[in-house]
Amino acid sequence: MLGLLGAASLLAQDGAVSDCFVKINLPADSPVALLGTTGSCRPTARGPALMLDVNVSLTVRNISANRIHGVRLRVVSQEVVAGGVATVYQPSLNVGPGETFPMRIVAQLMRPTQVAVGPLVQVNLDGVLFQDFSFYGENRLHSRRIMTANEMEAQRDREYLKRVLAQGGVPALRDAILKILKRQDDLPQLTGRWLRGGHTVTNAALAAVAPEHEAKFASLQFPDSPIQLMDGSAMLAGNEARAPSIEVRNIARQPVRYVELGLVLTDSSGRQYLACSLPSTDPAFSLPPGGSARVSQQDTLNFSAAGQPVNIQKMTSFVSQVEYSDGKVWVPNRQSLDNSILEKVLAPSAEEQRLATLYVRKSIDSVVEELKKF
């Protein structure tokens, strides 16, 4: 049984949750402590593998001197097989020293049956983000960058809603929340998938009308972006885009170690969709001030909407995220996102969606109280 533990003894805890053994790993200097665990973990045989259905709730205490704004866990059944690792991310926290908060782990993992030694599931602390953007954790899943970007977006959007409330009162805030809900409902639905290994047009009729050709990217340049978009192109054929590649240049004073681009697709009817993100996946990626490099992907993107292939006519790129070499992160401000293209294709941020859900489930007064906490 997973019992109540104090911080001093919580180096690594073994326990049985229903039919699975689960190990919760927290280092000796962890800023959080586990107070209790409930739930279940049920294994089911699937041929040569086990399917592990994990549904566990943790009660966690902040034992640091700083306020916690995010926690990310790495849930592992087996590191080297597909389906062996999951993540649990608790964003938009505002937990003071000594305060407790819940974390729920809901995951479905695969594990080879021949690997029978040790616990079936291990839970590791990959990252804790504090109010001042300092970070603690293994960062195996790039949690520092992901959590920092998420928190910057959350702060950006909370400040916007606070200004709306201050200037127009509760009615104006309600209108802003309703716009978030409408924007979410109106998003054009696009299904995109990577086809590994190159070009495979899935619709012969589209390919006949639009044989493969090189198409240059249009670009949206944000005034405050540290990255300038230069030359970019992809090979287009029907509903597929192969080998997208975009040259980027660092126009900031600090070195950059990660760039993520957003791609917007325009179909033959002029309708636009957010196609995908294009990250700089090379671990050695580095841009000194004034330096240039290419962000690219060699595989093929295949697109459909409502089960039908989308005839790609044009693609537009924009910078969605930048990480500097010191771990600081840039995200677009609201003025940059107030764009005739992006406002139609970008989903509301995770924080906007959280606050809109709070409005739907409770009331506008609950949203007001939530904004006051930050």
For residues 123 and 114, give the distance between their C-alpha atoms in angstroms, rounded to a whole number. 21
| pLDDT (0 to 100) of residue 83 | 87
For residues 297 and 82, which has the higher predicted lDDT (pLDDT)? 297
Angle at 124 between CA 121 and CA 126, to 5 degrees: 140
Quick: pLDDT tens for 75-111: 999 887 788 999 999 999 999 999 999 999 999 998 8
Asked if 368 and 173 touch (Cβ cutoff 8 Å), the reply is: yes
| pLDDT (0 to 100) of residue 2 | 34
Residues 6+ positions from 351 with CB-CB distance below 8 Å: 91, 92, 150, 153, 154, 157, 158
Least confident of 43-52, 251-260, 269-278, 320-329: 43-52
Taking residues 247-276, what's their average pLDDT?
95
Mean of pLDDT over the chain: 89
Taking residues 290-310, what's their average pLDDT?
92
| pLDDT (0 to 100) of residue 208 | 56
Residue 34: pLDDT above 90? yes
Joined tokens for residue 308: 């039908």
> What percentage of the chain carries pLDDT values higher than 90?
75
Least confident of 191-200, 256-265, 310-319, 335-344: 191-200
DSSP string, 102-170: EEEEEEEEEEETT--SS-SEEEEEEEEEETTS-EES--TT-HHHHHHHHHHHHHHHHHHHHHHHHHHHH
Taking residues 215-229, what's their average pLDDT?
95
Q: Count of residues for the chain?
A: 374
Pick from 33, 31, 60: which is nearest to 135 by CA? Answer: 31
Which residue ranges form the domains of the chain, and what is each CATH number?
12-141 (2.60.40), 151-185+353-372 (no CATH), 188-346 (2.60.40)
Least confident of 52-61, 75-84, 150-159, 348-357: 75-84
Quick: pLDDT tens for 332-360: 999 999 988 999 999 999 999 999 999 99
For residues 173 and 263, give the distance between their C-alpha atoms in angstroms, rounded to a whole number. 31
Residue 278: pLDDT above 60? yes
Taking residues 257-274, what's their average pLDDT?
95
pLDDT band at 49 (very low <50, low <70, confident <90, very high): confident
For residues 176 and 10, give the distance between their C-alpha atoms in angstroms, rounded to a whole number. 44
| pLDDT (0 to 100) of residue 203 | 55
pTM score of the predicted model: 0.87
| pLDDT (0 to 100) of residue 78 | 87
Quick: pLDDT tens for 120-143: 899 999 999 999 999 999 999 999
Residue 327: pLDDT above 60? yes
Quick: pLDDT tens for 205-221: 555 555 789 999 999 99
